Amino acid sequence: MQLVKRTNDIADRKRSMMSSQLAIKYINNVKSMSNSTAQEYKNRLHDFAKFVYKTYQCNIDNLIHKILNYDNQNKETNLNPYDVLSSYAAYLTGTIAPITIKQRVVTAKNFFEYCDIEVSVRKFKFKVKLPRAVQKEKKALSKSDVTDILNTCSNVRLKTYVMLLAATGMRASEVISVRICDLDLDSIPPKLYVRGEYTKTRSDRTVLLTQEIAKQLRNWLEYKFRKRRVSFYDKKAGKSTSEYRTPPKIDNDLVFSMNASSQGYLSVSIRSMYVELASIFGNTLDRMGRGQREESVGAQHRRITLHSFRRYVYSTISDLGYSDYANFFIGHSGSTYYRKSEKEKIEIFKKIEPYLTFLDYGELERKGADIISQLEEKDKMIQNMVRKQEQFEQLIQSLIDSGQLKPKSLNST
């Protein structure tokens, strides 16, 4: 009986954590701006609700009521927002990274303000002390690092996903949101379309692709829609059977979705696909011996993450002297190249393409041969100019020696 009672108490506690009508209204309000942001805020408020129940033995709505009815003369039964937020920061300290603590406390503060609780910026700064984050040096991956990771990927799906990150600098969730109909692999150069609702800047954009990643995407799609043997239970026959099936190719299917069915690939959330691929990627790094974690307090992520490829692309293009183009290429807003013509963008892309090619050795050798031939041609031009300069100097000297030209007159000219 005591076990049943304890189980019921836990269930009631969980219901009290998320039974806040105010929290639900706040999340729905944020959802109108971004579904992903709303989901993140929901997770943060869920953690805040745990803290509230553990510390004040009430749910969030009751806490808001107590704060709104705060009375300076009766502090024992009332609460002020600064004490709550300060206690929440102390509650989180030592368990998670400082930057995460700041995000969760600020989310709670914003929720208070949504509930008409005034939080002074100045008072918040003085009364709520947050741990200071240590700025760790983040080194960009080298090209050999990217090549090693690609060669260690255990399946074609992960290899294609990682290569697309390393060749475009796209955000991890942006790559996952790409549909089959968003690909244009036959254009010159190949390209893909990114929907604005899945970008951080909330704007559509077109991303140019290297020949290598276009070839890899074709290989992945060919493998994904291959004919395969499927086992299932036949209700009519009353037994298990198997047959060969080819999944139908539906344009709106996500490129990296799995779980094929007769109606196409089952729809899954971007978030769940990200968690799955990030987990497989982490296992790949561990297998390479490159899965070291950050050393800061509360940090759980590895030193190399899916975002590391974005830094690689930006630093690679910037080092070539195209920093403005680098901002445009990876999707930063405000780049001057958003106003350039398509022809200018493609011309620069052709120059950086060899530096975003990793495993296509034939293509790299061809590009290298072209560059070498161009350098050799320039060397010939320079040698020819030097030879002509020497001939000109010899002619001048012969004219001086014969008395036809005086050095003084040469200087005056």
At 83-114, the pLDDT tens digits run: 999 999 999 988 888 888 999 999 999 999 99
Q: Coil, strand or helix: which one is 254?
A: strand
Q: Which of 244, 254, 304 is nearest to 278 (CA)?
A: 304
User: Residue 3's pLDDT is what?
Assistant: 39
Do 405 and 397 meet the contact criterion of CB atoms below 8 Å apart? no
Q: At 59, which amino acid appears? A: N
Residue with tokens 């031939």: 373
User: Residue 363's pLDDT is what?
Assistant: 53
User: Residue 72's pLDDT is what?
Assistant: 53
* Backbone φ/ψ region at 297: left (φ over 0), alpha (ψ -120 to 50), beta: beta
> Phi and psi (nearest 5°) for 96?
-135, 170
Residue-wise burial string across 48-58, b where 16 or more C-beta atoms lie within 10 A, e elsewhere: bbebbbeeeee
User: Residue 2's pLDDT is what?
Assistant: 40
Listed as ranges, residues in the chain with pLDDT below 70 are: 1-19, 70-78, 136, 260-267, 295-300, 334-338, 361-376, 407-413
Q: Which of 214, 220, 221, 255 is nearest to 349 (CA)?
A: 214
Q: At 294, which amino acid appears? A: E
User: Residue 16's pLDDT is what?
Assistant: 44
Q: Which residues partner with 93 through β-bridges?
A: 96
Q: At 165, which amino acid appears? A: L
Q: Report the C-alpha gap between 355 and 313 in whole angstroms.
A: 9
User: Residue 110's pLDDT is what?
Assistant: 94
Q: Report the C-alpha gap between 340 and 246 in whole angstroms.
A: 44
User: Residue 6's pLDDT is what?
Assistant: 43
Using CB atoms within 10 Å of the CB of residue 403, give its burial: 0 to 12 exposed, 13 to 18 middle, 19+ buried.
exposed
User: Residue 39's pLDDT is what?
Assistant: 86
Do 90 and 101 meet the contact criterion of CB atoms below 8 Å apart? no
Residue with tokens 């749910």: 59
Q: Which of 153, 61, 50, 125 is nearest to 95 (CA)?
A: 50
User: Residue 70's pLDDT is what?
Assistant: 66
Helix (H) / strand (E) containing 243: strand 239-245
